[in-house]
Structure 1
Amino acid sequence: MLASLDLVHMLTYAAALLFTGALGGFVAGLLGVGGGIVIVPVLFHIFTLLDIDDDVKMHLAVGTSLSTIILTSAMSVRAHWRRGAVDVDMLKRWGIGIFLGVVAGTLLATHVKGPVLMGVFGVVALIVSFHMAFSKPSWRLADKLPGGIAEQAMATGIGGVSAMMGIGGGTLSVPTLSLFGYPIHKAVGTAAAIGFIIGVPGTIGFVLSGLGDSELPPFSFGYVSLLGLALITPTSILMAPVGAWAAHALPVRGLKLAFAAFLFVTALRMLWSVLDFLT
């Protein structure tokens, strides 16, 4: 537990959090996905090494990840807004659905056991890894979004699952929008704004539900690690532009496959942890 760590281990822990933010920011800038898809599993394994209680470590990983999304998505929205890549009309249509989904997902996430969240993360991450590895730009479900109740259900589902996984808007909304013929640059820019809508109520929910939990480590505010928030956010913001530069300078297909492999292994390890818990 953090309170019993010596200086060397505390510095190692701090370095691990800084690296987590850097990796999450780089991947977000490179592939247009939210950094949470990296931050949550890395935090989960860090908390496991620190022997944080099984009942709270996944909740702490998810809540901390959501808290980092608030500032990073706000910075990203600002950059995309300047380039005219944020679809305000779509945000007006999706905003309420995303918000309601986040509220429902957060309420559910904070009232279930950690293995349930691990299972949700593992299954969705597995699907995302396959999509990242094998999808083609030409793949389409339709030439435009369905509109009406179907579109609202889509937005609510993205908000709910994202809140339970601790991820922002990009991981689920960018591939979803692309499958409906949405321009990729606007999908990424609009997803950044969706991340902010997810991050704020999701963080508030995880903070409130975790207050008073005796199993939480020091420097926690509800299910948010303040150390994690303080160290992950700056490096994530610094590395996101580097990832965006790499997207234009490096062979992204190879990097995409490498990240898909990383995500595949991460998802399997998460699901294995669930099986281990059940047995």
Structure 2
Amino acid sequence: MKAINDTTAQSYPKTQKRSSLSGREIKNKLFKSLFIGATAFSLLVLLVLLVQIFTQGIPYLNWNFFTSFPSRHAEEAGILSAFVGTIWMMAVTAPVSFVLGVGTAIYLEEYAKKNRFTQLIQMNISNLAGVPSIVFGLLGLTIFVRELALGRSVLAGGLTMSLLILPIIVVAAQEAIRAVPGELKEASFAMGATKWQTTYRIVLPAALPGILTGNILALSRAIGETAPLIMIGALTYVAFLPEGLLSQFTVMPIQIYNWTGRPQEEFHFVAAAGIMVLLVMLLLMNSVAVWIRNKFQKRF
């Protein structure tokens, strides 16, 4: 009788352990299937969207589309003014956001004392990265368009988009600077270098790949934004090219938005061709960011 009880006592924990393992395996398979299903559904939606865009847009994607201005006739409509306007706006947004964003990151990481004031600044920068883009449009409308009297110009649009992506660039630059090994800084100081010499010659070159990657991804977001530019009054129909920073302009997302709002179905196909051009531009910029990251991530 005692031997039977001992056998039962030994087998019971094993049975309980097997039951526990079986339950965890079932949960693991369930969540795995759930995640695979969510991924497959997202990819399916993306595939359907891309197929629809390409089938509708390819017939209208020709040389005339790139060299023509918008028109009231779908077969004559082009994206020239929007494409050039996007380049003009990026020519303002890129240097302004890079200088201000990287400069802010350097100050916060290398020069600012770690106190409540800098913590408040850091918290506000992180919060600004999640603010809806239309809020930055209202800010640009108030400051640049009205107070500084820049009007509906390329300069006003570029400065507004700089405000939009500035928090993203600051956070990305800070992370890149933090990733620089401390041994490099200590070696520079040991050689008699000053704080600025160490930052300029050691920290920035080492952090530059991460900084550039963050800047390119932020600029990719700026290219695809529409709401801030609509708020500052960017035109939806432009049949001329900007001649300077104070010229009126339009960009590709606004032009695509204008085409999709037309009742004629042909303009929806033209909008699909414009979306294809915008997608290619974004993919090229993101590819450059990935190439920079992969090339320099093992440098230090």
| TM-score w.r.t. length of structure 1 | 0.32
Structure number, greater radius of gyration: 2
| TM-score w.r.t. length of structure 2 | 0.31
Q: Which has the higher contact order (CA 8 A, sep 6+)?
A: 1
